[in-house]
Amino acid sequence: QSFIRNKIMFQYYFPIFSPDIILASRIAYERMSNVEFPNKLALGGNNTIRGIPQDRYILESYILVNEEFRIPIWWRFGFILGVDIGNSKSTPNWIVNSILGLRFYMDNFIVRADYGIGKNTTGFYFNFGHLF
C-alpha cells in the first residue's frame, strides 16, 4: 500500500532570565492520507502528549505543541515544568496536560523522568534524552 505522509516541525530553545534556564518548544503538524490502521499516526504517551496512555488516539493528522522550562537544580540534576498540547479531528477537544520532570545530565546522555497530568489520566515516564 502506498500513502502520503507530511510533517512540519518547528523547534526552538530560548534562554529565559539566565543562560541556564531554557524555554524549549516544539510545534508540529503531521498528516497522512490513504493509510490503513497499522500505519496511522498516534497521539499519547512518552513522545507526544505525556499524561495520556501511549497511542491513545490513532488518527490521520494532528497538531502537537510541547513547551518546557528546563531549569538546573544542583550538580548534574535539572527540573522541567511544561505543558503538552494536542488536537486532531479524532480528539473531542484540545488536550492540555501539565508536565513535571527531573533530569540527570551525564557526559554523553540524559536520564529523564516525567510525570504528565491530564484531565482524567496521569502517566509516569522514564527514558533517556530530552523529548525534543
pLDDT of 10 reads: 98
Which has the closest alpha carbon to 51: 112, 113, 123, 101?
123
User: What domains, with CATH codes, occur in the chain?
Assistant: 4-128 (2.40.160.50)
pLDDT over 80 (residue 1): no
pTM above 0.85, yes or no: yes
Return d(Cα 30, Cα 10) in angstroms, integer. Answer: 12
pLDDT of 107 reads: 94
Return d(Cα 131, Cα 24) in angstroms, integer. Answer: 10
Q: CB under 8 Å to 127, separation ≥6 — which residues?
A: 46, 112, 114
Which strand (E) or helix (H) includes residue 64?
strand 61-74
Return d(Cα 72, Cα 54) in angstroms, integer. Answer: 28
pLDDT digits (tens, 9 = 90+) for 87-111: 998 888 999 999 999 999 999 999 9
Q: Average pLDDT, stretch 3-30?
A: 96
Q: What is the percentage of the chain residues whose pLDDT exceeds 90?
A: 88
